[in-house]
Amino acid sequence: MLKNYFKIALRNLLKNKVFSLINIFGLSIGMACCMTILLWVKHELSYDRHHVDSENIFRVGTTFVSGGEEARTAGTPAPLGSNMLIEFPEVQAATRIFISFNEDKSIVQRLKEGVVSESFYETDGYAVDSTFFDIFHYDFLEGNPKTALTDPNMVVLTESIAKKIFPNQSAINQTIRISNTIGNLDYRVTGVVKNPKNPSHFNGHFFMSIYSGEIGAFIRDVTNMANNNFLYTYIRLKPGSDAAALESKFPAFVEKYAGKDLAGAGFQKKQFLQAVSDIHLHSDVGFEIGKQGDIKLVYILASIAILTLLIACINFMNLSTARSGTRANEVGIRKVMGAEKGNLICQFIGESMLISLLSLLIAIVLVEIMLPTFNRVTGKDLSLISQPLDLLWFVAIALITGLLAGSYPAFYLSSFNPVTVLKGKLANTLSALVLRRGLVVFQFIISICLITGSLFINKQMNFLQNEDLGFEKDRQIIIPLRTQTAKQISEAFKNELLRNSSIKNVTAVTSHPGQMVVNDRMLYKQGGSRDQAKRVVLNFVDHDYLQTLDIQVSTGRFFGKNFPADTLDRLVVNEATIRELGFKNAQEAIGQQVYTDFQGRTFPFEIIGVINDFHYESLHNAITPYGMMLLSSENVTPNYQIVRASTNEMQNLLGTIEKKLENAQSQ
């Protein structure tokens, strides 16, 4: 019986080639779009679910309370995890992560007999506790996860970095030099892990012992739980523990370990838990460790995938019922010969499933063709062929699609009266016409919604690309300064660069636009109190910052070399700061003192200038209070230089700058 159905279905496909091609390619395109989007949705929903016992892993966050306002952040103080292990029996393990401030790259250098033999820029280097691999799952190729980071100056590399730095040899017990905020330190490689295949809200490429360098010594010795909330703390609860019940104990815990320090700091704080599997899509806190997703976008794209496939199914239904007259005689003869209605339904649904499976094969080819472009747009590394389980899911989707698309035509065709059909008096019923027209209307409604959504997305993309950010973003080159030598020679290197006629301006900064600014102060104006303080992020810049980025001064002045009194107690702020601090206008703020309290002392700052608001962070973020202090080599060293080019030959200029930097650092 099934063999006979298959033969008939195949004959019908070959007999009606144009109809078959329209149906197959219509379903193929719908399936391909749906499959591509679902691959992305599955990837977004899988973050941090691969860790062993992931349902019991949580990140501890902090809510700062000041002036009646609350600010949630992922940062926590150094002693938090160890104190939780002491205080709460539910906490089975704790670990911390430190990321280099204002740095997205580190210089990793291979050493040979104590001399640098080759250098690499690497991203996503984290300083972590020795317990890091107890909580987060990584497959070790070499080394022991229990002992890999027990001492300072130990490092674990991912397989790709290990092969890059030490090709054709083992990386274990080799020495590398890593230059970043932690310092220019030599590390012994004590482990190599497989490149992670599963996504995580942090994507570490190498992991250093958290107790390395001066920052490591500070982390080891600090006991204050009110300030220095610059670490990420993760805990694993014992199986069966209630996270909500644990959170209810946090107020007493904070009071016990930080109450006295908080009273002197002038603000309060609360701790909360975030399930590690929820961080990527559901986190709403500041100071995130990496780029976050958005659950709303997942819902939107999943809906688009379903609607796209539904359009293809409706198109299949309408085409099948529209040509019902060509199948009517077949149905009539089969019923006269004794065919049951159920047999006919199975036959027609079988035909639709065959078309659906053929469409799936074409859809797989289309997905493979589209994925490289889709990956470039989304920044992902999705693959279909490397995920056999995904293929099984897509086969299931194809069968369900065939069942859905073929169900109405099957019931409609099998319902024909054989006598009426054979007399040639077949006529469409009113209900059939109404349903078909309703499906067409529904199909057009979905199409219009999707087209409208596409137009909105296009406008949003144009907005992101063309919106005035408040500074000159074109022909700007960012030079990361990672080694102490690069930081020390930054001024001399700047003068060397300015001799090039293709370079218009150069400035040195601790943070460049687009980065999260981690330095901040809680400021209040004269006559106010610390309870009225507002958070102002602070960037350290040199005299040429505004000129390089073409940012306009609204009122007052910027730092100048002819003003030797411009020291670290003077501020240039944006207009948002003026509004938040309560000044009537920018002119009123010039020359005024603002204050911050820290560890029982009050520190004054004088506002000497106000600049126009500009987007110093992502366009996703509203412009918030932002200030600048003069970069002083005696106190703060730059992390970057920004070069404003006066030429469109950027590749040639980049090569010239790279050579100059190498020569300057080697002298």
323 plus 235 within the same structural domain? no
How high is the pLDDT of residue 130? 94
Does residue 125 carry a pLDDT above 70?
A: yes
pLDDT tens digits, 330-351: 555 565 555 566 666 676 777 7
Q: What is the pLDDT of residue 148?
A: 94
pLDDT tier for residue 317 given thresholds of 50, 70 and 90: confident
Q: Is the pLDDT of residue 240 over 70?
A: yes
Can you tell me the mean pLDDT for 161-165?
A: 93
The answer to pTM > 0.85 is no
Please state, in angstroms and rounded to a whole number, the distance separating the CA atoms of residues 162 and 169: 9
Q: Nearest-CA neighbor of 89 among 237, 233, 251?
A: 237
Return the residue matching tokens 């150069």: 506
d(CA 409, CA 320): 6
User: Residue 639 above 70 pLDDT?
Assistant: yes
Same domain, 141 and 232: yes
pLDDT tens, 173-184?
999 999 887 778
Looking at the fold, whether 481 and 450 belong to one and the same domain comes out as: no
pLDDT value for 114: 74
Asked whether the beta carbons of 183 and 211 are under 8 A apart, the reply is no
Residue 79 confidence (pLDDT) above 90: yes
Same domain assignment for residues 207 and 64: yes
- Residue 469 domain-assigned? no
245 & 174 share domain: yes
pLDDT digits (tens, 9 = 90+) for 399-451: 887 777 766 666 665 565 555 555 555 555 555 566 667 777 888 888 888 88
Residue bearing the bigger pLDDT, 21 or 139: 139
Whether residue 226 contacts residue 269, with contact meaning beta carbons closer than 8 Å, is answered with yes
447 and 540 both lie in a single domain: no
The neighbour count for residue 583, using CB atoms within 10 Å, is 20
Lowest-pLDDT choice from 208-222, 262-276, 647-661: 647-661
Q: Which of 252, 282, 312 is the last residue of a domain?
A: 282
Same domain, 30 and 62: no
Residue 611: closest CA among 571, 642, 572, 662: 572
Can you name the residues that pair with 202 across neighbouring β-strands?
none
Please report which confidence band the pLDDT of residue 139 belongs to, taking 50, 70 and 90 as the band edges. Answer: very high
- 289, part of any domain: no
Q: Examine the fold and report which residue of 462, 496, 528 is the final residue of a domain before the chain moves on.
A: 462
Evaluate whether residue 21 is within a structural domain.
Answer: yes
**Considering its fold, how many domains does the chain have in total?**
3
CA dist 561 to 299, 565, 566, 614, Å? 54, 9, 8, 24
At residue 618, does pLDDT exceed 70?
yes
Tens digit of pLDDT for each residue in 59-73? 999 998 877 778 899
Residue 89, Cα to own-chain centre: how many angstroms? 34
Residue 535 in domain:
yes
Residue 382 belongs to a domain: yes
* Lookup: tokens for 403: 């069942």
Question: Strand, helix or coil at 418?
Answer: helix
Task: For the chain, give the mean pLDDT.
Answer: 84
Residues paired with residue 176 on neighbouring β-strands, in sequence order: 110, 187
Q: Is the pLDDT of residue 1 over 70?
A: no
pLDDT tens digits for range 193-231: 999 888 999 888 999 999 998 889 999 998 889 888 899
Range of the domain at 188: 54-282
Q: Would you say residue 67 lies in a domain?
A: yes
Q: Is 90 left (phi over 0), alpha (psi -120 to 50) or beta?
A: alpha
Same domain as 423, residue 303: yes
114 and 78 in a common domain: yes
Q: Tell me the average pLDDT across 112-125.
A: 82
Q: How many CB atoms lie within 10 A of CB 159?
A: 16
Residue 471 lies in a domain: no
Q: Which of 432, 462, 492 is the last residue of a domain?
A: 462
Q: What is the pLDDT of residue 339?
A: 56
The distance from CA 663 to its chain's CA centroid, rounded to whole angstroms, is: 36
450 & 331 share domain: yes
| pLDDT exceeds cutoff 80 at 524 | yes
**Do 429 and 500 have their domain in common?**
no
Helix spans in 388-429 (H): 388-414, 418-422
Question: What confidence score (pLDDT) does residue 629 get?
Answer: 92
User: Are 300 and 395 in the same domain?
Assistant: yes
| Sign of the torsion angle spanned by Cα atoms 84, 86, 92, 96 | positive
